[in-house]
Amino acid sequence: MPDKTRRTYNIAMVSDFFFPQPGGVESHIYQLSSKLMDRGHKVIIITHAYDGRTGIRYLTNGIKVYHVPFLVIYRSSTFPTVFSFFPMFRNIVLRERIEIVHGHASLSSLCHEAILHGRTMGLRTVFTDHSLFGFADAASILTNKLLKFTLSDVDHVICVSHTCKENTVLRASLDPLMVSVIPNAVVAENFRPLSYEPPSKTSTTYNTAHKPNNQASFIHPNPPPPRLHLGPHDTITIVVISRLFYNKGTDLLTAAIPRILENHPNTRFIIAGSGPKAIDLEQMIEQNVLQDRVEMLGPVRHEEVRDVMVRGHIYLHPSLTEAFGTVIVEAASCGLYVVCTQVGGIPEVLPSHMTVFARPEEDDLVAATGRAIAALRAGKVRTELFHEQVKSMYSWTNVAQRTERVYNGICGDISEGEFYGYEAANYPGGNSWSAIRGRSGVQSFALIDRLKRYYGCGIWAGKLFCLCVIIDYLIFVFLEIWFPKNKIDICPDWPRKVLKEKDPRDGVR
């Protein structure tokens, strides 16, 4: 232990979505877990069993994954049986000595159940929301009610963008103070531009060759990469990589492509991804006879995304709703100029010099793409510098640090004032939330306090939720009698890593 005051935790990440299934939530959980392991915490992942992936497995880095056998109903979400997961969950939590339950994704019923049971067992709980939802349609109302149920009694919520935070706060009627924003990150090493040299190599040659003056080489460790030149007649390739669904804006894309290609002669499109809207795109290509200028690649694996991206100059992202949009960060990291719709959390993601924004409508998207092409041809955009900039903005290490601070806050290791802000903590007479939160800045585990929180969820829902919580508590008592704690084997821990140095530069933002 380099630092006596620093505390490490045993954390359980719970979500229905995990590898071998590919996706954003899945890789978020994996990256966050492995970086938390690097910081000396113990992390296990609880998910349901996939085909050919059951039982208990170890990943590299010593992350332990429990693939709990469960029934899958819809798009790899499990059937929401409120209590059936409890005995197994309790067993896992006790044998791994878990202190913090961290659930991911609001469509995962496993995560909601785990948070409910975790609170019943007296554990700290965190929930990370990865998506935006509407308020109007029936499915959203149901999901929002379920979310409200779970989040009535959770210690802290993490959202991936400020838009997502706003959405979640409204959907679950949360106190905004207990919602933090920690964005996703990308592994920048996996998304390098085509002609990229690692900076360490470049800087050493630069230093040894002709630099006795250390001061200058310290300020500019790498020479800027050579500027890319695009003549007025060079072909500009526009890349689109997305699942071809309605919410990803494929209809917008179908309408915009012929107009863009008509306005700009030396341009072509590469479209990767699959989905129900692929047929519309193909029809559009047939009708306008654009086979030689639009290339459709079909589905690509995540590790091949970079190879597709580096073939282009502009990345077009026509999505209609997006909580964060990791893919545009990946595109910028590959050195692509990004044209995207100004929806959801997208405007927060990249600085303005890397993006051209459009309203989510056909005319504006065409105009924005035209502006981007013109800027590239004029050489106004230094896309070759994007990679280093993205690399310094987004790192999983930083995400892990900020998540760790949330853990510190809910466990009471840093003071309420430091965690929630001094104004909120010392707000005179402002007991509207501190009555719920308790005096030490942490939520009370007493059953009556929990029931108070659930009761406010609605006229009927409140009573129903209270009933669920009481039944959950009774099951807990029964389990304590039937499967006593001392009969459960304790797992040996994977050798923990020791956090080496504390870099003052990458402090918590």
Partner 1 sequence: MLTTSPHLHIRRPSPTTAEFTVTTRPQMTIPLRLLLALVFLTRLLLGTAVLLLLYSKWTQSPYATPLAVPPAHTPPPLLSTTTLLLNLKTLLATPLGLFLSNLASHTPVWALLPPCLAALYLCLHRVHTTESLLVLRGLGIQTSSTGGTVLTGTSTRFIPTEKICDVLINEAFRGFEVRYYLVVVVDGEEDLVVVFPRLLPGRKIVEAVWRGVRGCLCEGEKDGHEVKS
Contacting positions for partner 1 (CB under 8 A): 54-56, 66, 68-69, 87-88, 91-92, 95, 483, 487-490, 492
The distance of closest approach from Cβ of residue 480 to partner 1 in the complex, given in angstroms and rounded to an integer, is 13
User: In the complex with partner 1, which residue's Cβ is closer, 2 or 55?
Assistant: 55
Nearest to 321 by CA among 256, 248, 253, 251: 248
Contact 35, 400 (CB under 8 A): yes
User: In the complex with partner 1, which residue's Cβ is closer, 270 or 488?
Assistant: 488
User: In the complex with partner 1, which residue's Cβ is closer, 87 or 370?
Assistant: 87
Full 3-state SS string of 290-315: CCCCEEEEECCCHHHHHHHHCCCCEE
Question: String of b and e for 139-170 (b: at least 16 CB within 10 Å)?
Answer: eeeebbbbbbbbbbbbbbbbbbbebbbbbbbe
Q: Is 279 exposed, middle or buried (0-12, 13-18, 19+ CB in 10 A)?
A: exposed
The distance of closest approach from Cβ of residue 56 to partner 1 in the complex, given in angstroms and rounded to an integer, is 5
User: In the complex with partner 1, which residue's Cβ is closer, 63 or 68?
Assistant: 68
Contact 11, 404 (CB under 8 A): no
The distance of closest approach from Cβ of residue 99 to partner 1 in the complex, given in angstroms and rounded to an integer, is 18
Sign of CA dihedral 388, 393, 394, 397: positive
Q: Helices (H) and strands (E) in the chain — how many of each?
A: 20, 16
The distance of closest approach from Cβ of residue 473 to partner 1 in the complex, given in angstroms and rounded to an integer, is 18
Residue type, 2: P
The distance of closest approach from Cβ of residue 484 to partner 1 in the complex, given in angstroms and rounded to an integer, is 12
Sign of CA dihedral 496, 501, 506, 509: positive
Distance CA 54, CA 56 (A): 7
The distance of closest approach from Cβ of residue 121 to partner 1 in the complex, given in angstroms and rounded to an integer, is 15
Contacts of 412 (CB under 8 A, 6+ apart): 440, 441, 442
The distance of closest approach from Cβ of residue 48 to partner 1 in the complex, given in angstroms and rounded to an integer, is 11
Q: ω before 20 within 30° of 0 (cis)?
A: yes
Residue 467's DSSP bridge partners are: none
Distance CA 306, CA 192 (A): 8
User: In the complex with partner 1, which residue's Cβ is closer, 357 or 494?
Assistant: 494
User: In the complex with partner 1, which residue's Cβ is closer, 68 or 239?
Assistant: 68
The distance of closest approach from Cβ of residue 485 to partner 1 in the complex, given in angstroms and rounded to an integer, is 12
Distance CA 126, CA 302 (A): 28
Which region, left, alpha or beta, applies to residue 412 given φ > 0 means left and ψ of -120 to 50 means alpha? Answer: left
User: In the complex with partner 1, which residue's Cβ is closer, 87 or 412?
Assistant: 87
Nearest to 169 by CA among 142, 138, 144: 144
Nearest to 7 by CA among 35, 32, 40, 38: 40
Neighbours of 354 (CB within 10 A): 24
User: In the complex with partner 1, which residue's Cβ is closer, 95 or 380?
Assistant: 95
Question: What DSSP string runs through 51-83?
Answer: TTB-EEEE-GGG-EEEEE---EEETTEEP--TT
The distance of closest approach from Cβ of residue 492 to partner 1 in the complex, given in angstroms and rounded to an integer, is 6
The distance of closest approach from Cβ of residue 84 to partner 1 in the complex, given in angstroms and rounded to an integer, is 10
User: In the complex with partner 1, which residue's Cβ is closer, 442 or 488?
Assistant: 488
User: In the complex with partner 1, which residue's Cβ is closer, 96 or 404?
Assistant: 96
The distance of closest approach from Cβ of residue 93 to partner 1 in the complex, given in angstroms and rounded to an integer, is 11
The distance of closest approach from Cβ of residue 496 to partner 1 in the complex, given in angstroms and rounded to an integer, is 14
Residue 268's DSSP bridge partners are: 237
User: In the complex with partner 1, which residue's Cβ is closer, 57 or 353?
Assistant: 57
User: In the complex with partner 1, which residue's Cβ is closer, 95 or 353?
Assistant: 95
